[in-house]
Chain A
């Protein structure tokens, strides 16, 4: 592997998505990484192992025998005062679920990448958002990246918010579409990142330390458990403002501009008749498609947890139709994102909101499909449609 000269602003490296994430993680300076290979995040953890082997990394790298162990290992390391990281995908994320709930309940600020991928059966390795939706209620912050550069910044943001709010964070990047594709990207240097994200120093008496012994993960009766869950809920709400605040700072420190506020990003028509809502790399395809339209807008959800309900209500106030286009389905209900958007705009009863399920198991989402959806979006017929 060639050593890459890192520059601040110019996107002069053409990197694989996984490589861009791995380089960023190394520059974030974690103390402990543990991982298990699972397609399509494998390149990330291979790169991180390589950096360690080459002597360009300072973290401890623990090879786990399963995702369940990897999640438990970073749990233990984080509880001992370390900044930690792992990456996973699909079945691996699902195998981790019990630990994910545990990490959140213990308020450990762990950050993981999820290279989003369909869940078996039928077995299928390609991209959709079934995995992320399966851990929706596990108490992890969830970010979704549109492209390599956004993934880089979201990882830095994720550590900042996680450590500030004492909540774990999952950065979702579309498997293969982002992890295995090459794009121009700039990787912020270690010193620049440390200006935004200082070294992790938890307070004494909050982590495992023989000099100040504490008990973590004890048995809680109903009253204490109830209060803990409520506290987590409240802190997720508080993190909405923190994300907006920190995203502004992020743009300043790393010197970039976009229309987003860390929670959502609007692009397209100033007075849209229809707003398309989506998450992840599909936003790129939609942006390309919308170049031919004057009255359509795109609202990209960059933070899925906490859910930016107010931002969505505000952004969709005067449009007639909403089309929620997503790569996941809750059998017996509808698209998870659709249901949440519907709840967010409940006050605005005039809007015609529809749900389009696309791309499950990596099924290609072409501009033609987006055009078809736009055409259908002002019909008030069927609410939930599979388009493929």
Chain B
């Protein structure tokens, strides 16, 4: 594995190797040493969680971080091409982690440079490190990835996280409940792909009745910035609010996940219940990103 660009490129074997390494690194990060290695963070878009979790991952393994956040004041503003910026970054560092608003940007950069490239989000296309940390979180909280019942809740139309997660879990015989307003349903081409892969799913518009059945509730924010029409957004923005009261009939092992940031879709009274797992999920991002950095830098033992 030279780069991590898309979940489509990742075999089930490679995914399992990364999950195992993340688990080992969580227990003992001292087994990998990335000292004198430099990670270049090329963030063409604002991001707090993904960028800081990568920085934390690199630094906790002894590595260094350089980079940019946003294009203001950089050579990009002077009209430099993406390829040129990336080639220069490649001279300064050992691995590039990049986020870019245009879809396919990370794959393009991976073709331009000789060092490994990690896609930390390319527009609405892929965000493979989020998918991997979600898998790790599900594995850790349930002890298995197999035969789980999962509700994916919220914006299933524009939410790239839920699309990737559905594909990433497909080999593990999941049962999905896709819970969304009618205007934000899972795209038909994804449903047909899942059917082809033999994955069973049901589409729902309400969450209440399925809560006693599920192992994982994956909640997503309905993102204002993805809506072409403000009025459409106002209609659906409060469609699902998860409260502690709503979870009283949940199974003991049920965990609520959220890629964060949340706005109001999970109320703060859920935080103190045994079901809340989204802060652990954010922490797991560091272990998974450590595993990714170590693997791509050839240090995974």
A in complex with B: no
